[in-house]
Structures are given as C-alpha cells and as structure tokens.
Amino acid sequence: MEKSGAQPVCGQEAMDLLNCVTESPFDLDKCTRLLHSLRECVLSKKVKKFSIADQGQQEAKPSDKKT
C-alpha cells in the first residue's frame, strides 16, 4: 500500500539506484537493472525533472556566532 503524498513519484526507484552505486562491492548488473527500473518509471509517470530537498541546510545549526 502506498501512502498518499508520502514519497515523490519514482522516489523509491531513484533511492534504490543511488544506494546501489554506494555499495561495496559494486554490482554493475544490479545497478543496471535498477537504472532500467527507474527509466521505466520515469517514462510511465512522465517525470520531467528530479530535485533533491535541501535538508542538510535546514537541519544545520547556524555558525554565524563569533567567539
């Protein structure tokens, strides 16, 4: 079951591919399958562009203070 608005379109496929390329040892066949899966999703959902939320800056504490 999918939660409404919980995850971006093709987000799981994109995340799976990104995690695949970070694995060691690198499994080219697995990553290639995941790439094709992402491509199929993008085509079927007519995704035009991806963007990544800038969570790092939102969670970072300001370091403007000088001591």
Is the dihedral angle over the CA atoms 37, 39, 45, 51 positive or is it negative?
positive
Indicate whether 18 belongs to any domain: yes
pTM of the model: 0.68
Confidence (pLDDT) at 55:
60
- The count of structural domains within the chain is 1
Indicate whether 54 belongs to any domain: no
Indicate whether 17 belongs to any domain: yes
Indicate whether 60 belongs to any domain: no
Residue 34 has pLDDT above 60, yes or no: yes
The residue type found at 41 is C
Indicate whether 62 belongs to any domain: no
pLDDT tens string 3-28: 455 778 999 999 999 999 999 999 99
Structural domain for 34, as ranges: 8-46
Indicate whether 20 belongs to any domain: yes
Indicate whether 64 belongs to any domain: no
Indicate whether 57 belongs to any domain: no
Residue 2 has pLDDT above 70, yes or no: no
